[in-house]
Every structure is written in structure tokens, then in C-alpha cells.
Amino acid sequence: MHKRRLKNGLRIITIPLKNTKVATVLVLVRTGSKHETKKISGISHFLEHMLFKKTKKRPSPLKIAEDLDKIGGIYNAFTGNDYTGYYAKVNTSHLSLAIDWVSDIYLNSLLPEEEVEKERGVIKEEINMYYDNPIFYCQTLFYSLLYGDQPAGWDIAGTKETVSAITRQDMLDYMNSQYRSESTVVIVAGNIKKRETEREIIDKFSNIREGASKKNVPVLEEQKKPQALSFYKETDQTHICLGARAFNSFSKERYSQEIIASILGGMMSSRLFIKIRDELGLAYYIRTTAEDNPDTGLILTRAGVDNRKTKDAISAIRKEYEKIKKEKVSPKELKKAKEQIKGKMAIVLESSDALSSFYGASELLEGRIYSIEEIYNLIDKVTAKDIQETAKQIFRPRNINLALIGPHKDGKRFQKLL
């Protein structure tokens, strides 16, 4: 892996890989839903859609798509709370085209007015799709419960009302403010030649707007007691999101909470999978994950259960949260969780696109890149005492939050279980 910072602040990361015939070009920019105001909530996501519409060189959505379709390329974009990304994955022989394509949509998109109007309907249908899927929408409710009426608590896609009100000029202003050199990282991973690749990137990104994007307003976290939010919907099962506020990516507890999530519900032999699914037969899907961002963090357990056994499932999950606070994990279980995390990381990071995202996000959000070996070492250093102390801090009653979707008209009765 090689990193280079240009005079204008643009960062370039190249990751040469020998045993592959493909390469991924990824551009990350440090702007997302946390950088928005209430009036333009959803603009990061809306703009991401619009970059696939028209450039001077590729004057239609068809031409933008066709250039990579005809070589079998894989391409897309994504918007998160903290950053937005655009990528193309191609046969290495088409690397120059991929760099040209990604740079073109990122720097030269024209945002045609007629496409803005059409895309409003597309995004509204995307919002409807997630609204109709309780597994996804329950997680949206969980974030809104944690963070309330501030950017971290708003839906990344915005609302139908804000999407209807965002103008082309709003998007131009936002792009000019946020899509800047010092806030952009270009990553290329695969069977590449470092120097040639760097030269092409420097050439294609020569007209990038210089400077840094505006920073997001810090997230406010204020909670004094457990919170519950129930959304009534006629469903065949109740979808639960039960979790707690945790530590951000700059915290020393970062890897402890990752291990806690693995122990609780990160694998088929985890505590909650065995208890909730195998022993009690309450759920088909149950999983616990940890999330750490620059200014927020959480541990979340998601499950779908029989409507009549919702209370039983919530109580059983809470008991496991309490147990990991009160009892030290055994050396055997701790080792299993560590090896599970490391093994999963090794498998995931075999591909060029995953490596690009892994290194790029680390550089963009943390200002440095940890090698896989460094991360393994940090994971190995976590002790059973660390796990218990971190769990005690995370699973305090005042940190606990529950969002659920199902045919329940009174959500207050579930709050008593927390």
C-alpha cells in the first residue's frame, strides 16, 4: 500500500495486488448526511444519484452506464452519515477507462434540471421501499431514537418533503462546498503499476476544486434513562432493534466493543444465536453488530420474533447484556471471538473493492491507515477484564434503546423491560 498527498491536498492511495486480474477505482469524499441542514436533509444522497446523469463527455445516463457495461464493469455509489463514495471495478486492461469514468462523473457532472425532476420520483420510491421493509426501517427508527432531531438522527435519504424541495442550485452549492481536494481520497487497488496509476489520477483529477469541505456539526448525545419507540404496522412478526450507545472510532474501547458484539451475536455459535434461536426458538434472524464512527458508536442487536413473544425476546436479550457485564468471558470464548473477527476480516479483504474501501475510509475518517497486522495486534491485546469493563460502560440502563415495528399500539409497556 502506498499513500501520496498532492500539493492541493488530494490524497492518492495505491494498493498493488499480484494474484488478481481486476482493479477497483474508488473515490471517497468526506461529506454525508451528518453535514446537512434540516432544509436540505437528503441532499448528499440526491447528489450521489445525480452524478450518474450527464457530463460533457458522457451526455446521457445511457452513455454513462454503457461505457462500463460494455466491458463487464461493476460500478455504483453509496452515501453514508460521514462520507460518500463512487467506484468502478474492471478487468485491469480497462483501468484507464475506470479512472476516466470515475473522475468524469465526480468532477464534471452537469446536474441537468430535467433529470433532477425525474430523480425526485426515483428517490421517493427508494424511501418507500425502505419504509415497506421493516428490517431496514426498524434500524432507521433506532437511529432516530438515539440521536433525535439532528443530522445523525435523520434518514440518510431525507424525507419526501425535503427531497421535493431540494433544487438544482442547492445541489450545485453543496457540491461546490463539499466536493473538494482536501476532503477527497482516490484509491486504486488491484493488478496495477503504482507510478502509471498515480500519473493517470493526477492528470484526471487536475481540475478538482481546491480546499476542504465544511465540517459537520458535532453530534449531541443526551440520554438519562432507557428509551423505547414502537411503530405500529400489521406484520407477521415483530422486528426488534435493541442496543446501546457505545464508543467512537478514536476510543481505546473500540476493539473491546467489537469483540463484545461478536460474543453476543456475531456468529452462529454466539450467545444470543444459541439462546434466542436454538434454545428458545424465538427468532429466525438475530444478529449483534458494533458500529464506530468518528463521533458516535453503538452496539445493536436485531431480531424478528413472533408477535406474541416480543417481551420474551427483549427480556432474553437484556439478560445477555447484563451477563456480559457481570461475568468475565472465558479464555476459550474470548479467543474464539478474536479469531472470528480476524478471520472474517481476512476473507472480506481478499477483494480489491473491499481493500479500497477499508484503507480509504480509514484515511478519510481517521487521518491514518492501520495495517491489517496492526489491527490484529490491537484485537489480540484485549483482555477479559477489558471486555467486562467496556460492557459495564456500554450497557448502563441510561444507554439502552429499543425500536420495534409490529402490531403493537402501546410501546410504553416494552420500556419497562429495559
Measure the CA–CA gap between 168 and 117, rounded to whole angstroms.
9
List the one residue out of 137, 191, 212, 193 whose CA is nearest residue 23: 191
Query: Is-same-fold flag (2-204; 227-415)?
Result: yes
pTM (whole model) above 0.85: yes
How confident is the model over 172-221, as pLDDT tens digits? 999 999 999 999 999 999 999 999 999 999 999 999 999 999 999 899 99
Q: Could you tell me the residue ranges of all domains in the chain?
A: 2-204, 227-415
- Report strand pairing: 74-79 vs 84-91: antiparallel
DSSP assignment, residue 86? E
Residue 413 is predicted with a pLDDT of: 82
Contact in structure between 255 and 378 (CB atoms under 8 Å):
yes
Residue at 181: amino acid letter: S
- CATH number for the 227-415 domain, one of 2.70.98.30, 3.40.50.300, 3.40.50.720, 3.30.830.10? 3.30.830.10
Measure the CA–CA gap between 315 and 198, rounded to whole angstroms.
55
Judge: domain 2-204, CATH 3.30.830.10. Answer: yes
C-alpha grid cell for residue 317? 436479550
List beta partners, residue 23: 90, 190
Residue 416 is predicted with a pLDDT of: 83
Q: Residue 42 burial (CB < 10 Å; 0-12/13-18/19+)?
A: buried
List the one residue out of 110, 139, 108, 124 whose CA is nearest residue 45: 124
Q: Where are the alpha helices (DSSP H) in 254-326?
A: 254-265, 271-272, 310-326
Residue 417 is predicted with a pLDDT of: 86
Contact in structure between 226 and 415 (CB atoms under 8 Å):
yes
C-alpha grid cell for residue 220? 449531541
Measure the CA–CA gap between 277 and 314, rounded to whole angstroms.
13
C-alpha grid cell for residue 177? 462546498
Measure the CA–CA gap between 386 and 388, rounded to whole angstroms.
6
Sequential pLDDT tens for the chain (418 residues): 999 999 999 999 999 999 999 999 999 999 999 999 999 999 999 999 999 999 999 999 999 999 999 999 999 999 999 999 999 999 999 999 999 999 999 999 999 999 999 999 999 999 999 999 999 999 999 999 999 999 999 999 999 999 999 999 999 999 999 999 999 999 999 999 999 999 999 999 999 999 999 999 899 999 999 999 999 999 999 999 999 999 999 999 999 999 999 999 999 999 999 999 999 999 999 999 999 999 999 999 999 999 999 999 999 999 999 999 999 999 999 999 999 999 999 999 999 999 999 999 999 999 999 999 999 999 999 999 999 999 999 999 999 999 999 999 877 788 888 8
**Run of H or E including 24:** strand 22-29
How confident is the model over 253-272, as pLDDT tens digits? 999 999 999 999 999 999 99
Measure the CA–CA gap between 331 and 380, rounded to whole angstroms.
12
**Run of H or E including 243:** strand 237-245
Q: Report in angstroms the alpha-carbon separations of 129 from 124, 239, 303.
A: 9, 16, 20
Residue 254 is predicted with a pLDDT of: 97
